[in-house]
């Protein structure tokens, strides 16, 4: 059977220059480098400069993805930005990215599924590309998470960082089996009844403020391990392969202990799991494309390999997506 798949043809990541170490944060709240490393695996994170907005990070990542794919901004016919830290309440950050990159008039919008945003955005882009509605889609995860942090709350302010990652997606012909290049399967979930264990306590229609991130860490942790495991298995089943067939897992980078817990439950070796949490911390929707960009540029992930990405975040939302590069 002949099918059209959406292939990822270029990936790019961007991290702002400023490095914030655990020791830097220990000057603001009662914490320590040792505690943060032991409980999370995080050693440092990046912080966007005062004059950098989420769209600026997104544009840098997009430029790198364009170079990697051999495409130009003029060829982009769909822009989706996954973000929970938009430049403005509106217009969408995708509209601002379109203007800054000089892309032609085409659909451009944001997806808000917090840390799962990039997985959701891939599925939305697949709906356009695989149906022939877009030929060169730009899908970005970009965040200035440090702008949402309460720097008096040690339970959250040590966990997050800023950054952006982007992919270019293009149609490619396939046979309809798991050997095809391109996106092969998804599992997306949301359970709004658990929205109160991870949220931001502000918004335009409630407080009229931006608000700060609030989290019940242990509950989020427990939900993450169980939910992600289920989504990975469902994603593999929907695409028709076994979890053990996957060459690389590129998880959302929230906590090294979550990565290890999920790997243990799925029976996968940790050397198949890309981890950037030590140096990026949790960059929400940006974390998967940033980790993907790093593992492709250092030669770990190569063309033809089966990759599975997964995430869980506020909502609660979670999900997984599998593709052959």
198 binds ligand UT7 (CB under 6 A): yes
Q: Which of residues 214-273 bind ligand UT7 (CB under 6 A)?
A: 217-218, 220-221, 224, 252, 254-255, 258
* Block residue for tokens 């996957």: 246
Query: Between 66 and 159, whose beta carbon lies closer to ligand UT7?
Result: 159
Nearer to ligand UT7 among residue 128 and residue 221 (C-beta): 221
252 is catalytic: yes
The C-alpha angle with vertex 186 and arms to 105 and 92, in degrees rounded to 5, equals: 30
Per the DSSP assignment, residues forming a β-bridge with 214 are 199
CB 139 within 8 A of CB 76: no
Residue, CB closest to ligand UT7: 217
Helices vs strands, H then E, count in the chain: 10, 13
Q: Which of 24, 39, 190, 260 binds ligand UT7 (CB under 6 A)?
A: 39
* DSSP assignments along 294-321, one per residue: HHHHTTSS-TT-EEEEEEEETTTEEEEE
Looking at residues 42 to 61 of the shown chain, list those that interact with ligand UT7 (rule: CB under 6 A). Answer: none
179 is a catalytic site residue? no
Q: State the number of binding residues for ligand UT7 (CB under 6 A).
A: 22
Alpha carbons within 13 A on the beta-carbon side of 163: 34
Q: What is the DSSP letter of 17?
A: S
> In this complex, which beta carbon is closest to ligand UT7, that of residue 42 or of residue 307?
42
We find the least distance from the C-beta atom of residue 100 to ligand UT7, in angstroms, to be: 27
Taking the alpha carbons at both ends of the chain, their separation in whole angstroms is 20
Positions that interact with ligand UT7 (CB under 6 A)? 31, 35-36, 39-40, 115, 154-155, 158, 198, 217-218, 220-221, 224, 252, 254-255, 258, 282, 312-313
């Amino acid at each position: 059977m002949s099918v059209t798949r959406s292939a990822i043809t270029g990936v790019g990541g961007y991290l702002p220059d400023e490095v914030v170490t655990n020791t830097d944060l220990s000057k603001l709240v009662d914490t320590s480098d040792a505690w943060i490393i032991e409980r999370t695996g995080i050693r440092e994170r990046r912080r966007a400069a005062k004059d950098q907005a989420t769209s600026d990070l997104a544009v840098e990542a997009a430029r790198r993805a364009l170079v990697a794919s051999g495409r130009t901004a003029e060829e982009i016919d769909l822009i989706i930005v996954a973000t929970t830290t938009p430049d403005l309440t509106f217009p969408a950050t995708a509209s601002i990215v379109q203007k800054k990159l000089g892309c032609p008039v085409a659909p451009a919008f944001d997806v808000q599924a917090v840390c799962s945003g990039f997985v959701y955005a891939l599925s939305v882009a697949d709906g356009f590309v695989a149906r022939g509605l877009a030929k060169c889609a730009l899908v970005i995860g970009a965040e200035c998470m440090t702008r949402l942090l309460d720097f008096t709350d040690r339970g959250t302010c040590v966990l997050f960082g800023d950054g952006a990652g982007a992919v270019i997606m293009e149609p490619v012909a396939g046979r309809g089996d798991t050997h095809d290049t391109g996106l092969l399967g998804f599992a997306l979930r949301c359970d709004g009844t658990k929205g109160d264990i991870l949220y931001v306590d502000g918004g335009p229609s409630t407080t009229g403020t931006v608000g700060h991130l609030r989290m019940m860490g242990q509950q989020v942790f427990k939900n993450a391990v169980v939910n992600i495991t289920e989504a990975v298995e469902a994603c593999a089943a929907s695409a028709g392969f076994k979890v053990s067939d996957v060459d690389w897992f590129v998880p959302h980078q929230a906590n090294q202990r979550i990565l290890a817990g999920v790997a243990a439950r799925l029976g996968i070796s940790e050397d198949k799991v890309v981890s950037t949490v030590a140096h990026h911390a949790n960059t929400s929707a940006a974390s998967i494309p940033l980790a993907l960009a790093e593992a492709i540029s250092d030669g770990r992930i190569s063309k033809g390999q089966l990759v599975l990405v997964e995430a869980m975040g506020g909502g609660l939302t979670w999900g997984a997506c599998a593709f052959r590069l």
